């Protein structure tokens, strides 16, 4: 475990308060938005899910920043990030854009942490030649519907209909009940709403196509350097689903107590401890520096 005391941090803490301000960098495909904080010889890179953004990691990053350099991106089509050119992108398309970000920020090795749809992107990144992640943490991984075409069509239609009928604002108001446990306080609920309100329709629609067209089992991070976690009250990617995924690939799995799907928002301290524990994998024999 990384040395030092993990200081408690409020789930709804602002990005400004945690020194986690927005930045942009120009890459070959346009612009990528990201947040950065902390310092250290090791780097932790954080990928958000379909209904969120880089700011959602603020509470967790405030803890992690005492131990490592911490970078959270806004996926293509989110925040200030340029959307992908593909109408129906796969996880590899997102992974390729992530690689451009790591190159631009001179991250040569990292612990890559993905939540939900971000976990699918992280798993795909492991398949790229020359990829720079030495270890992976997949939280509440979205399995994807690429292997279930009939179900994929239903999910796609339902999500895009909600986008049309409710708009971003209407969707944001409903999300806390789905993404958080019944024990979640108002700061966590407000954080979920706030981050969802920053969604861009074109980026969200592309992410829906990814969710419905790809399958996380197509990609295989190394079993010796990957861990899977899930909120014990997650109703989106349930502990049973996440545990079965981990078992299929030989990954260690553990639940996060008192947390729903947005586990790192609801329980930032406990989530940070698990990420810091995985940080030791970067120093394991066989990893490059």
**CA distances to 10, 12, 67, 78, 194 from 141, in Å:** 24, 23, 25, 19, 22
The arithmetic mean of pLDDT across residues 74-89, rounded, is 97
Residue 8 has pLDDT above 90, yes or no: no
The arithmetic mean of pLDDT across residues 99-116, rounded, is 98
Residue 100 has pLDDT above 90, yes or no: yes
In the three-class reduction of DSSP (H, G, I as helix; E, B as strand; rest coil), residue 35 is classed as strand
Q: Pairing mode, if any, of strands 30-38 and 69-74?
A: antiparallel
Please indicate, yes or no, whether the overall pTM of this predicted structure exceeds 0.75.
yes
Backbone torsion region of residue 72, taken as left when φ is above 0, otherwise alpha when ψ lies between -120 and 50, otherwise beta: beta
- For every residue of 113-178, DSSP letters joined together read EEETHHHHHHHHHTTSTT--EEEEEEES----STT-HHHHHHHHHHHHHHHHHHHHHHHHHHHHHH
User: What is residue 283's predicted lDDT score, i.e. its pLDDT?
Assistant: 80
**Percentage of residues in the chain with pLDDT exceeding 90?**
90
pLDDT digits (tens, 9 = 90+) for 183-199: 999 999 999 999 999 99
User: What is residue 131's predicted lDDT score, i.e. its pLDDT?
Assistant: 97
User: What is residue 15's predicted lDDT score, i.e. its pLDDT?
Assistant: 47
pLDDT digits (tens, 9 = 90+) for 108-123: 999 999 999 999 999 9
User: What is residue 3's predicted lDDT score, i.e. its pLDDT?
Assistant: 30
């Amino acid at each position: 475990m990384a040395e030092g005391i993990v200081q408690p941090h409020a789930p709804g803490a602002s990005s400004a308060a945690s020194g986690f301000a927005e930045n942009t960098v120009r890459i070959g495909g346009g612009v990528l938005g990201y947040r950065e904080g902390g310092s250290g010889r090791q780097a932790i890179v954080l990928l958000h899910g379909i209904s969120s953004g880089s700011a959602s990691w603020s509470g967790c990053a405030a803890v992690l920043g005492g131990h490592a350099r911490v970078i959270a991106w806004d996926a293509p089509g989110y925040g200030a990030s340029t959307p992908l050119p593909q109408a129906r992108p796969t996880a590899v398309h997102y992974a390729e854009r992530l690689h451009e970000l790591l190159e631009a920020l001179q991250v040569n090795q990292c612990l890559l942490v993905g939540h939900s749809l971000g976990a699918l992107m992280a798993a795909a990144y492991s398949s790229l030649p020359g990829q720079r992640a030495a270890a992976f943490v997949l939280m509440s991984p979205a399995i994807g519907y690429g292997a279930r075409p009939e179900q994929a069509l239903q999910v796609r239609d339902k999500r895009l209909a909600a986008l049309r009928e409710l708009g971003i604002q209407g969707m944001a108001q409903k999300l806390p009940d789905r993404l958080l446990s019944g024990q979640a306080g108002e700061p966590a609920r407000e954080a979920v709403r706030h981050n969802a309100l920053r969604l861009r329709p074109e980026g969200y629609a592309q992410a829906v196509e990814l969710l419905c067209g790809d399958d996380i089992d197509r990609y295989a991070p190394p079993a010796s350097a990957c861990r899977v976690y899930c909120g014990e009250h997650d109703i989106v990617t349930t502990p049973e689903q996440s545990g079965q995924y981990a078992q299929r690939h030989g990954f260690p799995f553990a639940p996060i107590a008192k947390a729903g799907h947005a586990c790192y928002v609801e329980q930032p301290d406990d989530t940070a401890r698990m990420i810091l524990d995985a940080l030791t994998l970067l120093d394991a024999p066989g990893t490059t520096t």
